[in-house]
Amino acid sequence: MVKAVVLGAAGGIGQPLSLLLKCNPLITELSLYDIVNTPGVAADLSHIATPAKVTGFLPPDEGLTKALTGAQVVIIPAGVPRKPGMTRDDLFKINAGIVEGLATGIATTAPKAFVLVISNPVNSTVPIVAEVFKKHNVFDPKRIFGVTTLDVVRASTFVAEIVGDLSKAPDVVVPVVGGHSGVTIVPLISQSSHPLPSGFSGEKLDALVNRIQFGGDEVVKAKDGAGSATLSMAYAGAEFAIKVVNALNGQKGIVAPSFVHLTADPAGGEALKKEIGADLEYFSAPVELGPDGVVKINSLGKITDAEKKLVDAAVPDLTKNIQTGIAFTKKSNL
């Protein structure tokens, strides 16, 4: 029996994410919360012939508390999407307060739930959730995850395109580490499960890395003001959520990159800091999942000199992003 909750369920990511979760038989209860439209979304989804019982809640009458009661997995896609010309700093100013309010609800109602943060900018919103949990004395670094899966999904797709066989995309595995925006996204192409064609290097490789790092911009531009990457993000969010649910149910050996607090696995976290060469609190690395959340933070493994330069380039932005999230909660009265 698994109760999953989507906070921001009526939005561009929230609706398709809720649909994908409803379609998965591992979910037995699906609770939807947003500031508008959730009763309608829930009614619509409830007609689908799958096991999950669906309910929808709005803010009045303690809707957030009701939605979160008994939750085991909470996914947060709430917030506004990025629009053309909008930086992630602009996005932060809007989404930080939304995430903080929702994190407060989780900390007080479902503090033991696994929290999966999709709301951007993830490099800053994950620290916000963690700091809120610390304020309520319920912080467990093993249970808070920044969802970076879309970077992994993009890398798999783009590599399959280059290999010339999109049917291989579901099987292509490319670790993507660092963070979840721009230069903080570090694809470890050298570790791809499917090698790139011989001679694929130099400018071609640089272009692939850039496309993975800035794939979100590609979608924002193509949508021409009508939103950001919502459908692919919903797919990626559901993929990671189901990995967490499978681990919760006892499945062994599940490893997926996620942006986590490095004390989730103190030994692994310290080893990773030495590899990175920086004392970061958070980093996205391949994480082994278990019934209690993070079991192990894996090392980066063997990387090329070019990939080491990408890691080095990610550190200053990651440091700034993390501090921005922490500083926001310190100013807050919550």
Which residues touch 321 (CB under 8 Å, ≥6 apart)?
121, 123, 124, 179, 181, 184
Determine the residue type at 201.
S
9 marked as binding residue: yes
10 marked as binding residue: yes
Segment holding 5, helix H or strand E: strand 3-7
Question: For residues 182 and 191, is the Cβ–Cβ distance under 8 A?
Answer: no
118 marked as binding residue: yes
82 marked as binding residue: yes
Cβ atoms within 10 Å of 308's Cβ, excluding its own = 15
- Residues 47, 180, 194, 261: which is the catalytic one? 180
34 marked as binding residue: yes
C-alpha distance from residue 11 to each of 64, 121, 333 (Å):
16, 17, 27
88 marked as binding residue: yes
75 marked as binding residue: no
How far apart are the C-alpha atoms of 103 and 113, rounded to whole Å?
Answer: 11
1 marked as binding residue: no
14 marked as binding residue: yes
Active-site residue flag, 194:
no
How far apart are the C-alpha atoms of 44 and 159, rounded to whole Å?
Answer: 37
165 marked as binding residue: no
Tokens in use for 313?
């380039």
Give bridge partners of residue 29 from the DSSP assignment. Answer: 3, 53
233 marked as binding residue: yes
247 marked as binding residue: no
Query: Which of 41, 43, 21, 17 is CA-nearest to residue 30?
Result: 21
Query: Which of 26, 21, 125, 111 is CA-nearest to residue 71?
Result: 111
211 marked as binding residue: no
Query: Could you list the active site residues?
Result: 180
Binding-site annotation, residues for substrate: 82, 88, 120, 154
Binding-site annotation, residues: 8-14, 34, 82, 88, 95, 118-120, 154, 233
Binding-site annotation, residues for NAD(+): 8-14, 34, 95, 118-120, 233
